[in-house]
Structure 1
Amino acid sequence: MKTLSIVMIVRNEEKVLGRCLESIKNLVDEIIVVDTGSKDTTKEIATSFGAKIYDYEWNDSFSDARNYALEQATSDWNLVLDSDEYLSNESADEIHNFINNNNNTIGRVKRIDKFKDKAGDSFAQTFISRLFPRNLRYKGKIHEQIDSSLPRVKLSVEVQHDGYYNQSRSERNIPLLLHEIKVAPQEAYYHYQIAKEYRGLEKHELSYHHLKQAYSYIDKTTSYYPNTIVDYIYAGMASGELDEILQVINDENNRLSDFADYQFASALYYLEIIMKNTNKYVHLLPEIEICYQKCLQIGETDKYDSVMGTGSFSALHNLGVFYEVTGQTTKAIECYKKAIEYDYKPSLQRLQNY
């Protein structure tokens, strides 16, 4: 039987560290915690779970810190989690079967990110490489990636993440990302990541600028390519760059036809550009219904990193609104009722008007 370590870097995480370690304590053979300067009870909490604790002087490089932590681990395989994450499903058997029957593969877990939007609490899913053999290491100062060409395999291991729900880490992240962009100005990944930081700060023009750069440099085979396009559409709407985005949508329609988030964003975009210049773009009105119908045909899948609801309740609700404002009341009510089956409260509020 192969052994497994959980490997973490932490700093002032007393509010969430216990939750994380509780979720994995019976799954791993060893807990490695590298502390980069905590002033609270983080170390005491880690000690209570039997962790091996090491101090590390922070040098503005996540990969350096993670690699130092990995060097302390003694197991055959490593599982990497952040303290604001925790395992949320019964996955011990799958994890152990995976590490005992694989040597040259990296496991990707499904992380479910909690965030706030106009509708309230929302969730997005993304698959991230977190389970790998002991010899692998990271690269990149921030949004670090495993430096390996080994194939990635999606696992049915779910990790909840709420670290960005009530706080932003852009003050820390943006300077690091700007440094990476200065070093490698044509690296699309860092433009993509910094655009997300600027979006969180509602600096939409800066977000759009960097997504435009990412789009010009990106390799269309990369895993984050579809999400770059979706973010680019939203940034174009937020910054008023609607005409340019229309060409992007036209260029990407075939490639992303099976991505619900893309169809959802396109529907919102068509509405936005029609409202801006009705006479010029009213011919696009049928595309709104078509896009939402495609969302529902695609449904909720694990093919892409996506926002939950774009293939179900959110698409149903927005399609209902479309039908409502275009005078198709019966269809609107039908959509709202279907969305309510997912306990989607905005649809319940709409339905109360009838």
Structure 2
Amino acid sequence: MITVSLCMIVKNEEAVLDRCLQSVKDIVDEINIVDTGSTDKTVEIAKKYTDRVFFYKWTGNFSEARNASLQYATKDYILYIDADDVILPEDQKKFIELKKKLDPSIDAVSMYYNAGTDEFGNITLQYRLNRLLKRSKGFKWEGDCHNYLNVTGKIINSDIAITHKKLKHSVGRNLDIYQKKLERGDTFTARDYFYYGNELRENGHYREAIESYQKNIALKTGWVEDKVYACINKADCYRNLNDTNNERASLFEAFQYAKIPRPEICSRLGFNFQRNREYNAAIFWYQLATQLKNDPNKWSFTYPAYATWYPHLQLCVCYYNIGDYEKSYYHNEQARIYRPEDERILFNKELLEKRLKTN
């Protein structure tokens, strides 16, 4: 059976660190915590789980800090997670089974990252990350903000998930890092333009975000999946600017890179047509969104809502507006499977049941 070193960087994580370490303490063979300047009880909590607590002076570069944490690993493989992540009990069991069966020739194992859940426990954002790394390969982090592991070799995909349970969002932190890169005159890669666009969009700077996404799309370099979402996110910016024509154009542009329909594109097109009261066109795109199957080996972002409750809820609205109350009720019930206590869905249910009784 392989052995695993957990390597983490932390700073002022007293609210979540205990929860995180409690979820991993029985499935790893070594815990390494690198503190980058905590002023709360983070270090005290870490020492409850390990005597391998180290200190690193923060330089403003996440890759440098993460790479510093990797040097303390002594086991066969390295696992990294953040303090606001957990490994749920069913995934702990899968992880232990993986340790028992993993071929030592494997260089890395990818796992799902369930980066968000709604109030009903539905996953809202999921993607794959290389999580378990063969220590002898010396893989390193790159990038100073939205950093990534430069991993090559024999990689397998597992069905194990790391679940994100963030208590608060660090508004503006990453945006500041990118703006300092601009002030220094650093050269931006296609990836930089994509993630800088995301930070601008999340902070409400929609026109600047569009400009950054356009720069990502214009470059021939970069991951095609980033270009798909540059188009999608650009469309979201246009929607927030009430520019429905450019929103629609950006969504159709996404097909140039995605090649085949995706729920994240189709549901947005449905909403674009729906807002223009073009209900039949909206129904077409929403229906298509519900029929598309997710690829379990997909590495880029997956937003399950766009294939499940959301298009069904909007189909309920569209069919209601064209007077087809039976189909409206059906799709509302499909949405209710995922969000049984959603007030909007329960309101629709009561309204439609009255409608159907009187018809």
TM-score bucket of the superposed structures, by smaller chain: 0.7 to 0.9
Distance 2:65 2:255 in 1: 41
Q: List per-residue Cα deviations over 1:21-45 (Å, max 9, x = no partner).
A: 1111111111010000111111111
> 1:141 maps to what in 2?
144
SS at match of 2:323: coil
Alignment check: 8 A CA contact 1:180 1:190 kept: no
SS at match of 1:83: coil
Q: Which residues in structure 2 correspond to 1:160-179 (within 5 Å)? A: 160-163=163-166, 166-179=167-180
SS at match of 1:113: strand
Question: Which of residues 252, 275, 290 is equivalent to 1:296?
Answer: 290
Aligned pair count reads 340
Distance 1:180 1:326 in 2: 52
SS at match of 1:183: coil
Call closer, same or farther: CA 1:113–1:174 in 2, change over 3 Å. same
CA RMSD of aligned residues (A): 2.6
Counterpart check, 1:347 vs 2:345: yes
> 1:84 maps to what in 2?
84
Q: CA deviation at 1:192?
A: 1.9
Q: CA deviation at 1:2?
A: 2.5
Alignment check: 8 A CA contact 1:218 1:225 kept: no
> 1:9 maps to what in 2?
9
Q: List per-residue Cα deviations over 1:271-320 (Å, max 9, x = no partner).
A: 34x36xxxxxx5xx533111111111114553352222211111111111
Question: What amino acid is the match of 1:189?
Answer: R
- Deviates most, 4-13 or 290-299: 290-299
Q: CA deviation at 1:263?
A: 1.2
- Unpaired runs of 5+ residues, structure 2, are 353-359
- Deviates most, 293-302 or 124-133: 293-302
Distance 1:238 1:155 in 2: 37
Call closer, same or farther: CA 1:248–1:200 in 2, change over 3 Å. closer
> 1:125 maps to what in 2?
126
Question: What amino acid is the match of 2:346?
Answer: L
Call closer, same or farther: CA 1:40–1:250 in 2, change over 3 Å. closer
Question: Which of residues 328, 336, 339 is equivalent to 2:332?
Answer: 336
- Deviates most, 232-241 or 75-84: 232-241
Call closer, same or farther: CA 1:17–1:51 in 2, change over 3 Å. farther
Distance 1:63 1:295 in 2: 37
Distance 1:321 1:249 in 2: 22
Question: What amino acid is the match of 1:93?
Answer: I
- Unpaired runs of 5+ residues, structure 1, are 276-281
Distance 1:218 1:323 in 2: 42
Call closer, same or farther: CA 1:288–1:94 in 2, change over 3 Å. farther
Q: CA deviation at 1:109?
A: 1.5
Distance 1:115 1:191 in 2: 27
Call closer, same or farther: CA 1:139–1:353 in 2, change over 3 Å. same
Q: Which residues in structure 2 correspond to 1:82-231 (within 5 Å)? A: 82-88=82-88, 89=91, 90-97=93-100, 100-114=102-116, 123-134=124-135, 135-150=138-153, 152-163=155-166, 166-180=167-181, 182-185=185-188, 187-217=189-219, 219=221, 221-231=223-233
SS at match of 1:315: helix
Question: What amino acid is the match of 1:42?
Answer: T
Q: CA deviation at 1:245?
A: 3.7
Call closer, same or farther: CA 1:162–1:202 in 2, change over 3 Å. farther
Alignment check: 8 A CA contact 2:229 2:254 kept: no
Alignment check: 8 A CA contact 1:79 1:132 kept: yes
Distance 1:11 1:242 in 2: 42
Q: List per-residue Cα deviations over 1:80-114 (Å, max 9, x = no partner).
A: 1000001122322343156x314353222211123
Counterpart check, 1:246 vs 2:248: yes
Distance 2:199 2:316 in 1: 32
Distance 1:203 1:109 in 2: 33
Distance 2:244 2:295 in 1: 29
Q: CA deviation at 1:76?
A: 1.5
- Deviates most, 131-140 or 205-214: 205-214
- Deviates most, 305-314 or 3-12: 305-314
Alignment check: 8 A CA contact 2:236 2:247 kept: no
**What is the TM-score normalised by the length of structure 1?**
0.87
Alignment check: 8 A CA contact 1:219 1:225 kept: no
> 1:306 maps to what in 2?
302
Call closer, same or farther: CA 1:253–1:328 in 2, change over 3 Å. farther
Aligned-residue identity in percent: 21
Distance 2:229 2:108 in 1: 22
Q: CA deviation at 1:51?
A: 4.4
Distance 1:324 1:105 in 2: 53
Alignment check: 8 A CA contact 1:11 1:42 kept: yes
- Deviates most, 136-145 or 235-244: 235-244
